[in-house]
Structure 1
């Protein structure tokens, strides 16, 4: 885990560093994260650490219990599939609402994003790919007047991404497939084709679930 640098709020930096460590698997499921240990490691006081842990708890990545250290949340297969199911509903609803409103500026943002996705894939940098994947869907949600949709998609993404990162050695094919599905979504948006956009999102979210089940089965069978 990287150390703190003095250019933004300590709480924000601690949050970002700890979040990456959780998502990447550097901290394992159920691992306890005592505030004192984290503060010493990052070289900061416990106050910003506490703020960061609270935010991560709100996103479902940590479990906070009174009188005990924060603990990295676990994600069962069943719970992961619940996250995916909820995200599917949100993503399909959102794409139906925003397709006709999309302007060239947003299309450009999406294209720049998938260029970064492709670069991450070419470097086998799947942690960054996941960040760009998350950002892609948040860019789409930013076009929706109902900002709660974006917040909810963000929360569901955290659960889904954490689940996929448990299966990090399976991301090579998954990332390439997701990238190609994102390209099809952009094409539908460029054409302002609501039906195609909806069908493309349904296909994308169905494949997210299928990839998860398939990759989890591979890991289970290899044990």
Structure 2
């Protein structure tokens, strides 16, 4: 069972430093990080006054940040009731990963011939850095954020390979909620070794110029991660 207990008093003791140059942007980024890492719980009510106090800013940048997060789908605003952290359900995860699989398989096939040897070498370097984030069959706690960024970069090589800007923008629409799934995948699951093997197999398929092998391992990897994240949802009581 995932433990969502993380009291307000603990959050208030976190050292959050806001640079006065762009209060709204920084408030947005900090609150987004709190939501992505689930330091704010699913369905938790977020009042403007409370957020302003937490961030050390006035109500205006806090309210503007909440409006942006609502547009991203991370916060749900109920008129005359309040703003709440949007939960992610099993249905959401299924839909997100169905689309991810569709987009990445399409991109892998359409962009296969566009991937250069230099890009393959860059992917190999990313996968090597991923290995340093793993200890045993788990991701090292201090490397969670770094691994998530590396994972994003590796899969963006695939999505960007067809050089289709509309595909890239559409895929990016999954980004925020996909990152929440990545956070739980990295923090809660003990299958780092298998994930690393699959990432290495993805790059090897490019190196060996084997499109069918690439599509096979991509499907195995994405559906495997989906199934594990769905286990997280179930363990967390039905929402992330």
TM-score of the two chains, using structure 2 as the length reference: 0.76
Paired with 2:164 and 2:182, the residues of 1 have a C-alpha distance of: 28
Residues 107 and 162 in structure 2, CA contact (< 8 A), matched pair in contact too: yes
In structure 2, the partner of 1:185 is 202
Kindly name which structure, 1 or 2, has the bigger radius of gyration based on alpha carbons. Answer: 2
Corresponding residue of 2:164: 146
1:132-187 CA-partner distances (Å, limit 9, x unpaired):
323322233233322232233233243244246457653232x4322321211111
Equivalent positions of 1:60-139 (< 5 A) are: 60-122=73-135, 123-124=140-141, 125-139=143-157
Tell me, in whole angstroms, the C-alpha distance in 2 between the residues paired with 1:58 and 1:144: 28
Change (3 A) 1:193 1:12: farther
Question: How has the CA–CA distance of structure 1 residues 42 and 206 changed in structure 2, closer, same or farther, with 3 Å as cutoff?
Answer: same
CA spacing shift, 1:164–1:138, aligned 2, 3 Å: closer
Structure 2: unaligned runs, 5 residues or longer: 1-13
Which residue does 1:171 correspond to in 2? 189
For residues 121 and 148 of structure 1, do their structure 2 counterparts lie closer, same or farther at Cα, with a shift above 3 Å needed?
farther
SS in 1 for 2:111: helix
TM-superposed deviation, 1:101: 0.4
Length-normalised TM-score, structure 1: 0.81
Whole-angstrom distance in 2 between the partners of 1:210 and 1:106: 30
Deviation at 1:216, TM superposition (A): 4.7
Instruction: Report the number of matched residues.
Output: 219
Residues 112 and 162, structure 2, Cα contact 8 Å, conserved in 1: no
In structure 2, relative to structure 1, the CA distance for the partners of 1:168 and 1:99 (3 Å cut) is closer
Per-residue CA distance 1:31-73 (angstroms, 9 max, x = gap): 1122222222112334433343333333322213334432111
Cα distance in 2 for partners of 1:7, 1:111 equals: 40
In 2, the alpha carbon distance for the partners of 1:115 and 1:14 equals: 34
Query: Which residue is 1:19 aligned to?
Result: 32
Query: Which stretch has the larger CA shift, 29-38 or 7-16?
Result: 7-16
Moved more, 104-113 or 185-194: 104-113
Name the stretch that deviates more: 119-128 or 189-198: 119-128
Give the secondary-structure state (helix, strand or coil) at the position aligned to 1:172.
Answer: coil
The question of whether the paired residues in 2 share the 8 Å contact of 1:84 and 1:156 is answered with no
Which one scores higher on RCO, CA 8 angstroms, separation ≥ 6?
Answer: 2
Give ranges in structure 1 of 5+ residues lacking alignment: none
The verdict on how the C-alpha distance between 1:181 and 1:166 changes in structure 2, with shifts beyond 3 A counting, is: closer
Residue in 1 that maps onto 2:229: 212
Task: Determine if the alignment matches structure 1 residue 199 to structure 2 residue 216.
Answer: yes
Q: Is contact 2:89-2:233 (8 Å) kept? A: no
Give the RMSD, CA atoms, in angstroms: 2.8
